[in-house]
Amino acid sequence: MDATGSSLVELLSAKIDLGGTQSPQALRSERFVEDIRSTMRQRAQRAFVLVWEGNKIPRGAKVLNHTIAWTQHGVVTDDAGGVIGMYDRLLEFGGQSGKLQVMVVYATNTDAARVNEVAAAD
């Protein structure tokens, strides 16, 4: 999943110009990208709700055996550059402080984490 997911994200980011919503091609591209995101969310093996205050990227948060390094365009990347899964942002800069963040991470790459968890338990 890591190499394929990363390559797919790079391909989509580099090759698809979403442009304005008036363009029929842009609308097809947006639907295509959303279909991919929807499929990945449906195939998620686990989901995690992250709640924190501060920057909108939950850098350093642990999901299974992965440390989140970056989130962009619905993709969650770990500190090794692998794709953990997808995310939906439920709240951005909310709450009384204006810094409350809430995100659901749909982990699709849990096999590597399970192997690491088993190895750590031995």
Q: Note the pLDDT tens digit of each residue in 10-60.
A: 544 444 454 555 567 767 777 777 776 777 677 777 889 999 999 999 999
Task: Say what the pLDDT of residue 119 is.
Answer: 43
Burial class (CB in 10 A: 0-12, 13-18, 19+), 57: middle
Task: Say what the pLDDT of residue 56 is.
Answer: 95
Q: What is the pLDDT of residues 57-110, one digit of tens each?
A: 999 999 988 999 999 988 999 999 999 988 989 899 998 999 999 998 988 866
Task: Say what the pLDDT of residue 22 is.
Answer: 59
Is the pTM higher than 0.75? The answer reads: no
Task: Say what the pLDDT of residue 1 is.
Answer: 37
